[in-house]
Amino acid sequence: MTLLDHVPSEAQRRRSAYRHRQTVHSVVVAACSTAALGTLLVVAVTGAPGWDRVRQSFLDPEIARDALPAVLSGLWLNVRLLVCCAVGALLLGLVIAVLRTLRGPVFFPVRALAAGYTYTFRGLPLIIVLYLLTLGVPGLRLQGMPPVLVLGGAALVLTYGGYLAEVFRAGIESVHPSQLAAARSLGLTYRQTMRHVVLPQAVRRVAPPLLNDVVALQKDVGLVSLAGPIDAVRAAQIATAQSFNYTPYVVAGVLFVLLAIPLIAVTDWVTLRAARRQSGG
Amino acid sequence: MELLRCRGLRKEFAGQVVLDQLDLTVSEHQVVALIGASGSGKSTLLRCVNLLEELDDGTIELDGEDISDPRVDPDRVRRRIGMVFQAYNLFPHLSVLENVTLAPRRVHRRARAEAEAQARELLDRVGLGARADAYPDRLSGGQQQRVAIVRALANSPRLMLLDEVTSALDPELVGEVLAMIRDLKADGMTMVLATHEMSFAREVADQVCFLDQGRVVESGPPEQVLGEPTQPRTRQFLHRIIEAGRL
Ligand SMILES: Nc1ncnc2c1ncn2[C@@H]1O[C@H](COP(=O)(O)OP(=O)(O)OP(=O)(O)O)[C@@H](O)[C@H]1O
Ligand SMILES: [Mg+2]
């Protein structure tokens, strides 16, 4: 950074001008090559012999308009489910990861249970968990049975909690033992050390992979429709069956991508920041 | 008055004896320097006193209380002992001020404003008041180590354990940390410090202990241990140090 009253030397001015010319040059080259590639793609796709057929059955604007309300209301279900399940799975994962770090014979059963949980639910396909919970549990005919949607959400939380617990655990183990020694030497208890020293560093370090799993969860929440509730993909499927046209799937696909963009952008930003912090210190 | 008394300490790592029948007594307001070759057990001794390592034998008394008794709550003991590490071990996710106030707030349950006022005063005293809101990775090594010392002092410890606090520092930064330790001595702080800085040990220590293979081979006033050592192994060690130009 140059201070206000600093007059750059002749050499510095020449360097700045050169860098400026280089930047302009790069932008022009990038624009040209993008335009060329884009034209090539459009020509290749629209010039293909089957293009008209494909356009009719996948990109029909009228059908898209008709299907949109149903797909959107399905998407609303996806969004609500994503928020609840993401929060639930993150909390569950964190708790399991912390339980697995407890030492001492008293905690043996807790540790064993937590370890058993992560092994089981990371191995079990999500669809099976979903079926077991949404079809099997109501079969018990217990009083006050929660609705299918809640059971489906629980299946997602249980499955993703297992993955996230391992991500958290990796983060906890990446905190150097000298940090623990420093905290304990100050008289902090194990719990205080975890809460104020280990977990903040661990979570910061694994924030990118955690968010990545949330992006994956976003695509999997739709699977609850296997048990009845209508999500965006299921709504598109129904609309497709009515119109004998695949356009509703494209509509749902585009909406999903639009929904994912902010989440992915946040993930990239967090990753970049984490990388910067690490190289900075 | 005796503040710390270690008797017959023994510590093994994987069958290797690191502390062997080690005795050490430290009186109140006394500064004891531990010297000895790399691997002689200086760090291990300090870690044992702070109950960061479990003893294999022997007893440690602090203020007349047997702290090596397994029924003693180690967190309570550590509150009375400040420890500073060779690699500073500051918490990278906390600012300087938060590093210093963490223990007062969480361990001693002080109010935030009170803890911060005390921390700022301590930081001001060592010339770090302006860096209170910086993060550790923005500080020089010497500044980080001084923050680590302040962090330990914020607990108002009875005893300070300093483990080679200058050996990770560039030579021109060593002075500022040593000056701080000198001030601590002037304030009457009881300290046990492991060090490779012989001239500093000579200047600041009331007693120098030469450790070799986990035993105190020779101990006494610095002029005697560093000037006229009686034990051949002490002489050998000091000879090597002189050859390396560190005395
Ligand atoms: N956690 C550990 N596990 C196994 N061995 C250890 C451990 N900590 C220390 N040791 C061993 O104990 C011996 C004494 O180590 P210690 O760190 O106390 O020496 P030191 O006198 O502090 O040396 P230095 O001057 O290099 O710091 C060394 O041989 C070391 O390898
Ligand atoms: Mg050491």
Query: What is the DSSP code string of B186-219?
Result: HTT-EEEEE-S-HHHHHHH-SEEEEEETTEEEEE
In terms of residue numbers, what domain contains A113? Answer: 67-280
Task: With CB atoms and an 8 Å threshold, state whether B107 touches A178.
Answer: no
pLDDT higher for B24 or A136? B24
- Neighbour tally for A66: CB within 10 Å: 17
Task: Output the CA torsion B241→B242→B244→B247 (10° steps).
Answer: 80
- State the DSSP code for A139: G
Q: What is the pLDDT of residue A104?
A: 84
- pLDDT tens digit at each of 281 positions of chain A: 556 678 889 999 999 999 999 999 999 999 999 999 999 999 988 888 888 888 888 888 888 888 888 888 889 999 999 999 999 999 999 999 999 998 888 999 999 999 999 999 999 999 999 999 988 888 777 777 778 889 999 999 999 999 999 999 999 999 999 999 999 999 999 999 999 999 999 998 998 899 889 989 988 988 888 888 888 888 888 888 888 888 889 889 899 888 888 888 888 888 888 777 655 44
Mutate to test the interface with B, among A175, A176, A185 (most CBs of B within 10 A): A185
Give the bridge partners for B194, in sequence order.
B34, B163
pLDDT tens digit sequence for B203-223 = 899 999 999 999 999 999 999
Residue A274 within a domain: yes
**What's the N-to-C CA distance of chain A in angstroms?**
21
Q: Which of B87, B135, B136 sits opposite A178 (nearest CB)?
A: B87
Q: Is the Cβ atom of B39 under 6 angstroms away from ligand 1?
A: yes
Q: Which of B52, B137, B138 sits opposite A185 (nearest CB)?
A: B52
| Average pLDDT value over all residues in chain B | 93
B24: left (phi over 0), alpha (psi -120 to 50) or beta: beta
- State the DSSP code for A183: H
Of B70, B208, B71, B180, the C-alpha closest to B122 is: B180
CB pairs under 8 A between A and B: 65
List chain A residues with CB under 8 Å of B81. 185
List chain A residues with CB under 8 Å of B85. 178, 181-182
In terms of residue numbers, what domain contains B128? Answer: 2-243
Q: Using CB atoms within 10 A of its CB, is residue A57 exposed (0-12), middle (13-18) or buried (19+)?
A: middle
How many structural domains does chain A have?
Answer: 1
Residue A197 within a domain: yes
Residue A83 within a domain: yes
Instruction: Tell me what ipTM this predicted complex has.
Output: 0.91
Atom 27 of ligand 1: nearest residue by CA position: B38
Q: What is the pLDDT of residue A244?
A: 86
Residue A244: φ, ψ to 5°: 50, 40
Contact criterion met (CB below 8 Å) for A236 and A78: no
Residue A30 within a domain: no
Task: With CB atoms and an 8 Å threshold, state whether A188 touches B75.
Answer: yes
Q: Which of A181, A188, A197 sits opposite B52 (nearest CB)?
A: A181
**Cα of A221 vs its chain's centroid, Å:** 11
Task: With CB atoms and an 8 Å threshold, state whether A186 touches B76.
Answer: no
Looking up residue A264, the CATH number of its domain turns out to be 1.10.3720.10
Task: With CB atoms and an 8 Å threshold, state whether B91 touches A181.
Answer: no
Q: What is the pLDDT of residue A280?
A: 46
Q: What is the pLDDT of residue B246?
A: 58
How many structural domains does chain B have?
Answer: 1
Task: With CB atoms and an 8 Å threshold, state whether B103 touches A186.
Answer: yes
Radius of gyration for chain B, computed over Cα atoms and rounded to the nearest angstrom: 18
Query: What is the chain A residue with the closest CA to B83?
Result: A185
Residue A54 within a domain: no
Q: Is the Cβ atom of B105 under 6 angstroms away from ligand 1?
A: no
Residue A26 within a domain: no
Q: Is the Cβ atom of B44 under 6 angstroms away from ligand 1?
A: yes
Atom 2 of ligand 1: nearest residue by CA position: B13
Q: What is the pLDDT of residue B243?
A: 84
Q: What is the pLDDT of residue A149?
A: 87
Q: Is the Cβ atom of B18 under 6 angstroms away from ligand 1?
A: yes
What is the C-alpha to C-alpha distance for residues A71 and A77, in angstroms, rounded to an integer?
Answer: 10
pLDDT tens digit sequence for B226-245 = 999 999 999 999 988 888 76
Task: With CB atoms and an 8 Å threshold, state whether B81 touches A185.
Answer: yes
List chain A residues with CB under 8 Å of B106. 188, 192, 196
Task: With CB atoms and an 8 Å threshold, state whether A188 touches B107.
Answer: yes
What is the C-alpha to C-alpha distance for residues A251 and A257, in angstroms, rounded to an integer?
Answer: 10
pLDDT higher for B24 or A243? B24
pLDDT tens digit sequence for B90-123 = 999 999 999 999 999 999 999 999 999 999 999 9
Task: With CB atoms and an 8 Å threshold, state whether A187 touches B83.
Answer: no
Task: With CB atoms and an 8 Å threshold, state whether B89 touches A179.
Answer: yes
Q: Which of A185, A192, A200 sits opposite B50 (nearest CB)?
A: A185
- State the DSSP code for B159: E
Residue A21 within a domain: no
CA angle A76, A78, A80 (to 5 degrees): 70
Residue A91 within a domain: yes
Q: Which of B93, B102, B136 sits opposite A186 (nearest CB)?
A: B102
Calculate how close chain A gets to B232, using CA atoms only, in Å. Answer: 36
What is the C-alpha to C-alpha distance for residues A226 and A54, in angstroms, rounded to an integer?
Answer: 28
Lowest-pLDDT range, A226-230, B149-153, B160-164, B178-182? Answer: A226-230
Q: Is the Cβ atom of B43 under 6 angstroms away from ligand 1?
A: yes
Query: Is A200 within 8 Å of chain B by CB?
Result: yes
Contact criterion met (CB below 8 Å) for A171 and A203: yes
Return the exposure string of B138-147: e unless at least 16 CB atoms fall within 10 Å of the residue's CB, then b: ebebbbbbbb
Query: Is A279 within 8 Å of chain B by CB?
Result: no
Q: Is the Cβ atom of B195 under 6 angstroms away from ligand 1?
A: no
Nearest ligand atom owner, CA of A178: 1
Question: B38 CA distance to ligand 2 centroid (A)?
Answer: 7
What is the C-alpha to C-alpha distance for residues B179 and B160, in angstroms, rounded to an integer?
Answer: 16
